[in-house]
Every structure is written in C-alpha cells, then in structure tokens.
Structure 1
Amino acid sequence: MGPAEPASCVCADTVAVRDEEPGIASALIHNGGGEYLLHLRDDIPGIREPGCWSLLGGAREPGDRSWEDTVRRELREEAGLDLPALEPFAVTGAVEEGSAPASVRVYVGQWDGDPARLPLTEGVMLRWFRPDDMDRLRMHPTTRDLVRTHATGRATAPSGAVRHGAGAVRHLVGAHLYLEDPAGRVLLGLRHHSAVFAPNTWHFLAGHCEQESAVSCLVREAEEEAGLGVDPRDVEFVHALHQLPGPGRWPRLQLVFRARAWTGVPEVREPDKCLGWRWFDPAALPERVVPYTREAIAHVRAGRPYSEAGWE
C-alpha cells in the first residue's frame, strides 16, 4: 500500500468532553521499538473516522463495569488482543457526524507481536508505524498528537515515567477505602487469580480515578465493587502514599480514605475481579497482602498522613 496523502477525518475533533455516558475507550499500543499500532478503519459513511488510521477501541456498553473493561472488551472483539497491563493516559473528545460530543478515555499498553497474525474482525488492517511516519497518513490530528505526546515522554522521562509539558510527569491517582468494623477489624478483598495486578492477594477496596474527584471515585467503587453505600460527608482523608512502582511504570499517588459510616454488607459485585471480602485484625493480617496496603494500614493506625516508596 503506497503512502497516503495527509488528510484530516471530518468525524472527530478536539472538544470539551462531557463527564457522562455514552463515551469511547481507546488503546494507545506501542512496542519496544518505538512503534505504535494503528487500525485502518473501513471507509463507510456514518461510522467514526471512516477510512482513517485510528486507535483500536469503541463505545462503552451497558455490561462494562469500567472504562478499562470497555477497552479490554473492544481489543478482544476487534483483534483478539488481551494485554497484561493497560493504564489510563488521557481524556479527549470525539464528534460523530450529526451527534453531540462524546468523551474518549485513552489507555496505554505495550505489545510486541505481529499485527498480521491477529484475527481482525473490523476494519481493513493493523500496522506498526513510527511517529515520524504519521504525517503522511490519513488520521485525525488528535490521534497524531496523542502518539507524539506519548513518544516524547518515553524518550525523555527518567525511570520510564511519561513526561507532559515542561518537566511535568503524569501520575496515576488511586482512591482506597479504609473501613473498620466495631471490633476494629479492617475490610480487605481477595483479588481474582487472573488479575493482572496482585492475583490471589488481599487488597483495599480501591480504584483509579477517572474524570472525577478522588472521593467521588471512592463512593463509586464502594457501590460497584461491594454494594456499599458511602456518603461523601462521612469520608475523611487518612493517608497518602507517593509511590514509584518501578522502571517503565508511572508514579502513583495512592490516597486512603476512612469512611466513618456506611450502609450495606460487603458482597462480591465483580466476581471476575474479587473473590470475597473479609474483616481482618490489623495486627494479624494474612500473609498475601499487597505490600503497600500493609504499609498503609500501619501508617493509618499510627496516625501518619504521608509516606513514600520506591523513590530511592
């Protein structure tokens, strides 16, 4: 296939995003050689970005419990891909012809396979491209900018962290729920054996902040994961762990909040992620606990509001 003339797709634009449904989740996939996986979409009027090179992804469906669920489902359905790790990267916007703007959550992941071997079910083809090749491709400027932003960050940031702007490094924010029952026991959940992060290990009820405040994330995750009702007015901040997980990983700010009151009894609402909830004596935690969870519990009980890990 010869080089295409540079062109813009008329179906998308950079817009003020809405923090409501519906929305789209896309995957920015790169390999170890600095190339990015692009999807040549069908040239059919009425679809999003017809005839353009784009990111794999699609619209959120009612059965998706999170935006990460959406992008993982789309990767499986469109290309048979199941990546070990996907992390939030950006929120942008798209415009469908004749419809209102929709928010787009972009996740980033690494894969080093041959796209020609993937069982593509939609579109024309998948191919690797270097960022410098993208000026000649028919693709939306927002997609091109996302790739270049990520590529610049990979080239310049220390310890694999992604830089944005003049020296700024993107951080992931996690919200964690610290609950104690009347006996002083702490609530933990056993993560599913197929979980990418900490399988078969006990952890706080927690989640990554999306386009929302940390307390709003906490309230949402409590209901989605365990059927618990938490009033934001009953939530108090108790600890922050500033964490650098390791080379190639984004820094994380793990925020821990205590709920002074709640409604409901913990139940398994997401059996593909959590196998069960139990209350533990904080002085006798099980052996398999996420290390920073164990540390955070100790800090909360000692009244220490801040700690760091991995920055040495």
Structure 2
Amino acid sequence: MNPLDNTRRPAALRSRRPGAEPPTLVVGVHLVLLENDTVLLGRRRNTAYANGLWHLPAGHMEPGERVTRSMTREAEEELGILVAEADLDLVHTLHHLDADDGRSRLQLFFRPTHYQGRIRNAEPDKCGQLRWWPLDGLPAEIVPYTALALAEITRGGTLSTVGWPTIT
C-alpha cells in the first residue's frame, strides 16, 4: 500500500472533501503555576467536563480574543491575579482528540514569569478547592491530559498528542 494512501487515516480525516472548510479547532489555555516543585491545581465543581477532578486553572479562547489575552483573563477570573500577556511563557502544547465529542482541541500551557495579587479561589461555584500538589505526587483524580502535560513539562517536553489513533 502507498504510505500516502488515506485509507489508514482516522475516519474524521478521510471524510474531508477537497475544498471543504478546515475543521474547527477548540483552543484551551492552562496556567502552570509552579512553586518549590509543586503545582497549583483546582478541584472542578459543577462542571460539565471532568467534574470532581483536579485540573490546572484553565479556560477557552473566546471569539476575537488573542490566545495570550485568553490566559490573562482566565487567571484573573479564576485566581484573582493579574498577569501581563508579555509575562507568559508557552511551556507546552498538547493536541488532544477528545473521545467524548470527537473534537480536535489544542491545549496551550503557559507559565507566568510574574504576576500581581494574591492567589485565591475567585470562582468557588466552579472550583471546590485550590491546592498545591508536588509534581511527583499528583492526585489520582486528575484530568488525564493534565497529568500527561505536567509530566512532559517536568521532563522538558514541549509537544505531545493524546487521543489520536496510532498510525503505522
């Protein structure tokens, strides 16, 4: 078989017609706050996705919004801290094929070099608790791709994929 033959590609990719609109990509932003080999996680509450699991402070880009502005907005909304867009370092990119809805999601993980304010749970209706966890002792009840991304960040990896079929 020709290695470029598309019959081994995932069905969602094979079904694209020439000239069709490109697939919509959901972009998530995640704040990686590290302190003394610990990371800040929040326990999700009253959420449609991953309710009860630990996750980084995160959200999605809104229409017409720069990705860095999305991250600074989420930091303020969720933690009550101010982060300048220029103070964000992109530390990891994860391309996620969501098994629940089949959507392709680009998850961007930012680490601030500086922020202003005192970290607090500014959205207690969506976050049951904030807690610092050791990087080598993350909770069992964590969003799986969050654990993967943190492991990659810890080892210096800048790109990972999850949920995509293995193509040989």
When the two structures are superposed, what TM-score results if normalisation uses the length of structure 1? 0.46
Q: Is 1:222 the counterpart of 2:75 in the alignment?
A: yes
Are 2:30 and 1:173 aligned? Answer: no
- 1:184 Cα deviation from its structure 2 partner: 2.3
CA contact (8 A) 1:195 1:273 kept: yes
The number of equivalent residue pairs is 152
Q: Which has the larger radius of gyration?
A: 1
Following superposition, the deviation at residue 186 of structure 1 comes to 0.5
Measured in 2, the distance between the counterparts of 1:179 and 1:281 equals 12
Asked if 1:273 is matched to 2:123, the reply is no
SS at match of 1:298: helix
User: 2:99 corresponds to which residue?
Assistant: 246
Moved more, 218-227 or 238-247: 238-247
Paired residue for 1:295, among 148, 152, 155? 148
The amino acid of 1:310's aligned partner reads G
Please give the secondary structure, in 1, of the residue aligned with 2:149.
Answer: helix
**Equivalence for 1:204:** 56
The equivalent of 1:234 in structure 2 is 87
What is the alpha-carbon distance in structure 1 between the residues aligned to residue 118 and residue 51 of structure 2? 24
> Structure 1: how far apart are the matches of 2:164 and 2:100?
11
Give the Å deviation of 1:166. Answer: 2.0
Change (3 A) 1:247 1:289: closer
Matches within 5 A, 1:54-203: 158=12, 166=20, 168-181=22-35, 183-192=36-45, 194-203=46-55
Q: Deviations 1:209-237 (Å, cap 9, x if unpaired)? A: 01211110000000011101111221111
Structure 2 spans left out of the alignment, 5+ residues: 1-10
Distance apart, 1:162 and its partner CA: 9.7
Please report the RMSD computed on the Cα atoms of aligned residues, expressed in angstroms. 2.0
1:309 to partner: Cα distance: 0.8
Conserved 8 A contact 1:266-1:277? no
In structure 2, give the amino acid aligned to 1:227: G
Displacement, 1:249?
2.6
Amino acid at match of 2:137: A
> Which runs of 5 or more residues in structure 1 are unaligned?
1-156
Q: What are the superposed Cα offsets for residues 170-226 of structure 1, whole Å, 9 maximum, x if unpaired?
A: 110001111112x1211111100x311111111011111012111100000000111
The answer on 1:258 being equivalent to 2:111 is yes
Identity fraction in percent: 41
Shift of 1:167: 5.3
Amino acid at match of 1:252: R
Would the aligned equivalents of 1:240 and 1:253 in 2 still touch at CA under 8 Å?
A: yes
> 2: CA distance between counterparts of 1:258 and 1:247?
28
CA distance in 1, matches of 2:67, 2:89: 11
Aligned to 2:138: 285
Secondary structure at the counterpart of residue 59 of structure 2: strand
- Residue aligned with 1:228, SS: coil
Q: Tell me which stretches of 4 or more aligned residues in structure 1 moved more than 4 Å.
A: none
Query: Highest relative contact order (Cα 8 Å, sep 6+), 1 or 2?
Result: 2
